[in-house]
Amino acid sequence: MTKLNMVKALNLALFQEMERDPDVVILGEDVGVDGGVFRVTDDLQRKFGSQRVIDSPLAEAAIIGTGVGMALYGLRPVCEIQFSGFAFQCFHQIENHVARYRLRSQGRFACSMVIRMPYGGGVRALEHHTESEEQFYAHIPGLKMVIPSGPRNARALLAAAIRDPDPVVFFESKALYHAAKEEVPPESETFPIGRAQVAREGGDLTLVAYGAMLRVAREAADVLQAEDGVAAEVLDLLTISPLDRETIVASVAKTGRAVVVHEAPRSFGPGAEIAASIMEGAFLRLEAPVRRVAAHDVSFVGFAREKANVPDVARVVAAARETLAF
């Protein structure tokens, strides 16, 4: 086992999938010589050539749109959108085509492709470089939406996404890219898409989180354990859509209480679906309303104010305490 940060772990997944399958190609702005602005595709062009690791012109709609064409031909494009904030430029290609091609062609064609993008705050960045847009993809039928929380699952889920017959939107937390190293097995590994993980077991309360918020939820669980003697169960969604309602509902059916944590704005956000699903699945077990700890409904706050906007441990702990005291 080697310890890798998330950037290196993702790079490993790409490398191994490209070795395994000659149909895997990479496409995006600066993914080639530069290795991507976050270096996730580092060295891949040197290894696989500029026909397989393609520095595209600066046009997101065409990155996804030509990716669709490649996928229809039978290739497995992995498209990189440089920041999730610029993926609205190709949102029509994603919604109109990527998500629909299997359906529209009634199974003749498939868009087996991955759309990778860095998302989220925590890196002192400009506007459109700090947002969390997962909700927009989660609401589109035909897509899968994955957000890993650490190097190992990032690597295993990216490999799974590349092999998946359906299109996967793959969000990578910029805050996690270099956050921590983790043991990552050298041989290829996949994790199932659509399955949440119990990151920590507990019987008193369920904390639902994903991506960079997993750490926040975990630390909140530590605080609750240490200061309140409360055993919080922490769920790491990993896949946002299709949502693993079974795991979520099972946990809340046990604990009776839940707090959902995400970086996306609160209103009409992913926490709403999770809360509604919990209510539908575990209504009679609920001891308190499901709470949402999320960013405020503000589009951009600037990094000088970012910490006051994105959920932190104190907010999660406070929400958990209110839920427990309800």
Partner 1 sequence: MPRTVLEPRFQVEYLSILDSEGHLDAALEPKLSPDELRALYRAMILGRRLDERMVRLQRQGRLGTFAPIKGQEASQLGSVSTLRPTDWMVPSFRETAAMVWRGWPIEKLLLFFAGYVEGGQPGEGQRDLPIAVPVATQLPHAVGLAYAAQYRGEDAVVMAYFGDGATSEGDCHEALNFAGVWHVPVVFVCQNNQWAISVPLKKQTHSKTIAQKALAYGMPGIQVDGNDVLAVYAAAREAVDRARAGEGPTLIECVTYRLGVHTTADDPTKYRAEEEVKMWEQKDPLTRFTAYMRQKSLLEDGLEQQVDEEIALAVERFEATPPPDPLTMFDHLYAELPPHLVAQREELARRLREGGAPEPDAPAPTPRATPMRGQRLTRR
Which residues inside 51-90 make contact with ligand TPP, applying CB under 6 A? Answer: 58, 82, 86, 89
Residue 29 as a binder of ligand TPP (CB under 6 A): the answer is yes
CA 78 to CA 172: how far, in whole Å? 14
Candidate ranges 2-10, 91-99, 182-190, 202-210; the one touching partner 1 (CB under 8 A): 91-99
**Quick one: 35 or 211, whose CB is closer to partner 1?**
35
Residue 91 as a binder of ligand TPP (CB under 6 A): the answer is no
Structure tokens at 30: 């600066």
Residue 205 C-beta: closest distance to partner 1, Å = 19
CA 171 to CA 177: how far, in whole Å? 11
Residue 142 as a binder of a copy of itself (CB under 8 A): the answer is yes
Residue 5 C-beta: closest distance to a copy of itself, Å = 30
CA 20 to CA 5: how far, in whole Å? 22
**Quick one: 27 or 209, whose CB is closer to ligand TPP?**
27
Residue 131 as a binder of ligand TPP (CB under 6 A): the answer is no
Candidate ranges 27-35, 41-49, 226-234, 260-268; the one touching a copy of itself (CB under 8 A): 260-268
Q: Tell me, what DSSP letter sits at residue 318? A: H
**Quick one: 128 or 321, whose CB is closer to ligand TPP?**
128
Q: Are 35 and 41 in contact (CB under 8 A)?
A: yes
Helix, coil or strand: residue 230 = coil
Residue 132 as a binder of partner 1 (CB under 8 A): the answer is no
Alpha helices of 74-110 — where are they, by DSSP H?
91-93, 101-104
Considering 92, 97, 129, 178, which one is annotated as catalytic? 129
Helix, coil or strand: residue 207 = strand
Of 19, 20, 21, 34, which lies in the binding site for partner 1, with binding defined by CB under 8 A? Answer: 34
Among this protein's residues, is 129 annotated catalytic?
Answer: yes
Residue 321 as a binder of a copy of itself (CB under 8 A): the answer is no
Closest to 83 in 3D by CA, of 121, 55, 50: 121
Dihedral, CA atoms, 171, 174, 178, 181, nearest 10 degrees?
A: -30
Of 17, 29, 80, 182, which lies in the binding site for partner 1, with binding defined by CB under 8 A? Answer: 29
Question: Which one-letter amino acid corresponds to residue 112?
Answer: S
In which element (H, E) is residue 15 found?
Answer: helix 6-20
Of 19, 299, 322, 326, which lies in the binding site for partner 1, with binding defined by CB under 8 A? Answer: 299
Residue 268 as a binder of a copy of itself (CB under 8 A): the answer is yes
Q: Enumerate residues 6+ apart whose C-beta is below 8 A from 121.
A: 130, 131, 132, 174, 175, 263, 303, 306, 309, 310
Q: How many CB atoms lie within 10 A of CB 27?
A: 23
Q: What secondary structure does DSSP assign to 17-44, as a single string?
A: HHHH-TTEEEEETT-STT--TTSTTTTH
Question: Which one-letter amino acid corresponds to residue 248?
Answer: I
Of 13, 26, 48, 65, which lies in the binding site for partner 1, with binding defined by CB under 8 A? Answer: 65
Residue 198 as a binder of a copy of itself (CB under 8 A): the answer is no
**Pick from a copy of itself, ligand TPP, partner 1, none: which does 289 bind, CB < 5 to 8 A by kind?**
a copy of itself
Number of alpha carbons in the 13 Å side-chain half-sphere of residue 164: 27
Residue 2 C-beta: closest distance to ligand TPP, Å = 31
Binding site for a copy of itself (CB under 8 A): 85-86, 88-89, 91-92, 94-96, 99-100, 103-104, 127-128, 135-136, 138-142, 241-243, 264-265, 267-273, 275-277, 279-280, 283, 286, 288-292, 296-300, 326
Enumerate the active-site residues: 129
